[in-house]
Every structure is written in structure tokens, then in C-alpha cells.
Amino acid sequence: MSDKQTTHFGYKEVEKDAKAGLVAGVFHSVAARYDLMNDLMSGGIHRIWKRFTIELSGVRRGNSVLDIAGGTGDLAARFSRIVGPDGRVVLADINDSMLKVGRDKLIDGGNLGNIEYVQADAQYLPFPDDSFDCVTIAFGLRNVTDKDLALRAMLRVLKPGGRLLVLEFSKPRSELLGKAYDAYSFNVLPKMGQLVAGDSESYQYLAESIRVHPDQDTLKQMMEDAGFSRVEYHNMTGGIVALHRGVKA
């Protein structure tokens, strides 16, 4: 839809300029209960997905890592321990409510002091070229208005040989699993959101946003078109989630 002035906000068609504000409203609403809802929605499996992302990142002591749409800091906390005091982790999120929740959580958890907090738009990253050994974005790309622009920005800030990891909901491999997943997403999630977070509409949007996100092969092609090499993806939980990995040549 890059040649049009509209884009998806869930199943709705909205002006491109309006999407960021609408997404911000969703995450302002859910920030305080975000971690609890993640555990409830996934049965805690999101922790395994994130652990696999860390393992595939190849991050080592002394590395510099950018976690985009880092939210409440799950990945940043783990990267902080891996890179150590000589390393650097930047937790970036466009949403100040999510960033505050993440900062408070990590400070309370006694992080090593090697984490920086930056409010930033994934499409216009405020970092110099060739800054990071690894860039991650977990469950954030589907909320970005111009994904192609964001992928090019991520490539720019990576050092040569640096890795991008995109962890995102994707397309289930089995039709039966897909039907069960749809029933859960559209019947259970909004009700759970209403009960736990007092907000069913935001979780309705999150379910819809997953369905309009590019599938595994489409996202792989988008990463290659943006300039990444050696792009591959790994399906998890039957393809409900996929982890894409690309390298800056």
C-alpha cells in the first residue's frame, strides 16, 4: 500500500498520518497490564519465543544492541546481562507509556546500568549509521506504518555483519490450527482484555493487526528487498509466531 495515502489499522483503513496516533492510544491503554496480559494470552510461551530470539541473536560480551518497540524490557534485560558492563543496550519504543513501564521494571530489577532508554520511531531511528551489532524488534513490526522504511532504517544503523531479528506473530502452518487460533483471538482475547485490562477494543485491534501482517515468506522478501542478506525464518508454535533473521553484508 506504499503508493496509497491509507494503511491498515487492524481491519480498518485509515489515513497513514493517523495510524501512529491510533497505535499509541492502544499501547497507552494496555501498558500497565502488558506483561500480565502477555503471560495470560500466551500461557507464558512468549518467554520461550524470546529466549530463542536471544539464542539466535549471536550477541556477545561488549556488543551494542538496539531493541526496537522494546516495551517493558524483556529482551533488553537479558541482553544487558549478556553484553556486560562494556556493552550497550538501547531500549527504544515510540510509546512513552510503554517506555516508562519498561524503565521502571528494569531499574527495579537492578539492571547493570548499561541500558539506555530512547523514545523513537522505528521508521526514523535517531542513531548514526553502523552503530549496532544487533537489532531486535519483538511483536512491534506489525504496528509500524511503513514497514519497508523501518526495515531500511534498521539496516542503516547496523554495523556490517550485524544481525536483525524480527519476532512477530505470523501465519499458522495448519488450517486446523489457524481456525482454532482465530476462534481464540477473536472470542477469548477481547474478553480477557476487558476483564484484566478493562479494554476489549485494544485487544480486538491486536488480533486484527496480526491477520493483516505479512506472512513468513512475504516478510522474508521484504527484508531482502530492504538489503538484508542470508534471510531465514523459523516457525514456532506451528507458525503462530515466526522469527526472521537477516544480516547486513
- Write the CATH number for 25: 3.40.50.150
Kindly report which listed range (139-148, 156-165, 180-189) carries the lowest average pLDDT score: 180-189
Q: Which of 228, 80, 219, 218 is nearest to 154 (CA)?
A: 228
**pLDDT tops 70 at residue 109:** yes
Query: What domain count does the chain have?
Result: 1
- What is the distance between the alpha carbons of residues 148 and 139, in angstroms, rounded to a whole number? 16
Q: What's the mean pLDDT in 177-194?
A: 89
Annotated binding site for S-adenosyl-L-methionine: 72, 93, 121-122
Which position has the grid cell 476487558? 194
Q: Please state the pTM of the whole predicted model.
A: 0.88
Report yes or no on 159 lying in a domain. yes
**pLDDT tops 60 at residue 2:** no
pLDDT of residue 12: 79
pLDDT of residue 179: 94
Q: What's the mean pLDDT in 204-208?
A: 85
Q: What's the mean pLDDT in 210-230?
A: 96
Report yes or no on 151 lying in a domain. yes
pLDDT of residue 32: 65
Report yes or no on 185 lying in a domain. no
Split at pLDDT 50, 70, 90, the class of 159 is very high
Q: What's the mean pLDDT in 10-15?
A: 80
**pLDDT tops 50 at residue 66:** yes
pLDDT of residue 39: 74
Split at pLDDT 50, 70, 90, the class of 28 is low
Report yes or no on 182 lying in a domain. no
Residues 6+ apart with CB under 8 A from 73: 67, 91, 102, 103, 105, 106, 115
Domain with 83 in it: 17-173+204-247
**pLDDT tops 80 at residue 35:** no
pLDDT of residue 10: 75
Report yes or no on 195 lying in a domain. no
pLDDT of residue 213: 93
**pLDDT tops 80 at residue 97:** yes
Report which of residues 114 and 37 the model is more confident about: 114
Under DSSP, the state recorded for 143 is: G
Q: Return the sign of the alpha-carbon dihedral for residues 150, 23, 7, 236.
A: positive
pLDDT of residue 1: 42
pLDDT of residue 31: 62
pLDDT of residue 155: 98
Report yes or no on 135 lying in a domain. yes
Split at pLDDT 50, 70, 90, the class of 19 is confident
**pLDDT tops 60 at residue 132:** yes
Q: What's the mean pLDDT in 49-69?
A: 97
**What's the mean per-residue pLDDT of the chain?**
90
Report yes or no on 180 lying in a domain. no
Report yes or no on 11 lying in a domain. no
Name the region of 161 (left: φ>0; alpha: ψ -120 to 50; beta: rest): left
Annotated binding site: 72, 93, 121-122
